[in-house]
Structure formats: structure tokens, C-alpha cells
Amino acid sequence: MARPGRPRMPKAPLPGTVEAFLDMLIAERGAALNTRHAYERDLADVCAFLKKQSKDINSASTGDLKAYLAELGERVNVKSKGGGKTAVRTIARRISALRQFFGFLVSEGTRSDDPTSTIESPKQTRTLPKILSEDEVTVLITTAQKQGGPESVRLVSLLEILYATGLRVSELVGLPLASIGPEGRYLTVEGKGGRERMAPLSEPAQRAMKAYMDVRTRFLIPDRVDAQSKWLFPSRTSESGHLTRQRFAQLLKELSRNAGLDPGRVSPHVLRHAFATHLLRHGADLRSVQKMLGHADIATTQIYTQVVGDQMKSAVETKHPLSVINES
């Protein structure tokens, strides 16, 4: 969103084939709007590079795309002071977007060849999810409770719901009021691809949401009630009518500082990771966690078993009586 008082910068128009591809992602593959925006940003960057070379993405050759990826690599390396994993992930994601776009052109008969067919993705090492300990999550929630006022009540509700359900942040802030189940015991969530799932709420989350509902009207503007009233977490300032991902992340950073935690370690996604890891540590089965997270593939959920395994190994090595005996 443009800063107050500053005009919004117009977007450069994208080729019709790119727009058609982006529309297809939603219409045929059921992609989320955020996914569409991500592909749009990626392909717009490619188009901007090719335009400087007086070339068009529809007729781009393998050499053109390799030149773009080389330039992208230099940009990312400079921006991230050496690149590393950040550069590898960025380039791999951009290649994936290009492959899907040119695959779409071939399937539509716009092109007979795929210029990405001989382009290899950089090898990525899968990093383990960053999480918070159970004590650190408790400190965050306790600190939020102490702040007082409607903002505090809302923040506690957001934290409790996120930690009880493991929702993606876009799912959390975009919850409609109608998602609340009978007696507030669960939420009906529409995830990626339009797949619905039920997210049960813990007792602390139920209590926090009930307390928030008593002050929810404080976040509505009288002349915009119609646009805002359908959201569980309405906002007085956002264009969407509900709290934004960016604002919630900002609130978390501020809260983490007040709680004495490193803000760099705290984010909505880190709390989602904590939810999954803590469940597995307490004996939940992998399939149940998969369903609650809304993962289409259980392989995505399995990464959390490695986090739990590494932590248990560390605990045995540092806390188990036998480790002390062996050292003596």
C-alpha cells in the first residue's frame, strides 16, 4: 500500500499471456490470491529484464532466460550480502515460475518448445523450521495479556488461535465471522486450493476469542461496517477490511521485544511451526497434524518429525544421566 500522501506507483502492464496464465492458476488450479501475486511479481521481474534487452517473454530463448537468471543471481547476492541460501531459494522459485508459465504456453499451443527444459534448478538444502519453545510461547501470550485494552485482547486472541490451530497467517487474518463453529469450539478454514478443514480450538483459545468478541466492535468504523462486518478480525485502516498479514507480523515483533525475546526469531509462521512441533512432541500422530496444518502432502509435514528428533537427541546427550556417566 502506498504511503499516506504519496501517489501509488502504476504497475507496468504485463503481456496478455502472463495475465492468462495468472488467471488460470486461480480458475483451474484453485491457487490462493497470494500465490497469484507471487507469480505475478516473479514474471513481472522477468518481463522487465527482457524489455531492457528489447525482447519479449513470449519469444524468449533459453539463452535469454539464463542471462536473466545470471543477472538475478548477482542482484540477490548483493542484496543478501553473499547470497547463500537466500539466493538459491530465490533463483529456484523464479525458475519454477518460468517452467510453469512456459508449460502453460506449450499446452495452449502458443509455443511449440519450452525454453526452460534444459535449465537446471540450483540444489537446495532443506532447512529445519525455526520454532519457539513452549515456555517462550507462554511468555509471549502472558506479555500480551498484561498490555491491557482492546488491542491487547485482540492480540491474545490472535496468538491463542494461531497456537491452537497452526493456521497460515493469511488464513488467520482473513477468517470470516461465519467461520466460528457452534459454541466457538472450532473454526472452519478455507485453505490452499479452496480446501476446507475444521480447526478445533483449545480451551484457552475459546476463552480468548470470547473475550475478543466482547470488544470486536471497537475495530469497526461506523460508515464502513458493511465492508468490515463479515471479518472476524476487522481493521479500521486496511483496504481489505480485515487485519493484514503485515500488521499482525509488526504487532508480533513489538510484542517479542516487550517479552524480552529476539524479534528476529518471532513471526506468525514460526508460531505455526511451534504448533506442529509441540503437538508431535506430546504424542500427536503425523496424519492428524497434517490435516490440521492443511498440508496436501504428508511429506511436507514430516519435516517436523526431524525437528522433534533432533531436539530429543540433544536432550538425551545433554540431560540424560548416562551422558554424564560416560563423560566421567
Residue 283: other Cβ atoms inside 10 A = 6
Q: Is 304 known to be catalytic?
A: yes
Q: Is 269 known to be catalytic?
A: yes
Write the secondary structure of the chain as one string of H (helix), E (strand) and C (coil): CCCCCCCCCCCCCCCHHHHHHHHHHHHCCCCCHHHHHHHHHHHHHHHHHHHHCCCCHHHCCHHHHHHHHHHHHHHHHHHCCCCCHHHHHHHHHHHHHHHHHHHHHHHCCCCCCCCCCCCCCCCCCCCCCCCCCHHHHHHHHHHHHHHCCHHHHHHHHHHHHHHHHCCCHHHHHCCEHHHECHHHCEEEEECHHHCEEEEECCHHHHHHHHHHHCCHHHHCCHHHHHHHCCECCECCCCCCCECCHHHHHHHHHHHHHHCCCCHHHCCHHHHHHHHHHHHHHCCCCHHHHHHHHCCCCHHHHCHHHHHHHHHHHHHHHHHCHHHHHHHC
Catalytic residue among 257, 265, 269, 313: 269
Catalytic residue among 154, 272, 273, 278: 272
Distance CA(45)–CA(203), nearest Å, equals: 46
Catalytic residue among 185, 192, 247, 253: 192
CA pseudo-torsion sign 88, 94, 97, 100: negative
Q: Is 68 known to be catalytic?
A: no
Catalytic residue among 94, 154, 168, 242: 168
Q: Is 186 known to be catalytic?
A: no
Q: Is 216 known to be catalytic?
A: no
Distance CA(19)–CA(16), nearest Å, equals: 5
Q: Is 272 known to be catalytic?
A: yes
Active centre residues (catalytic)? 168, 192, 269, 272, 295, 304
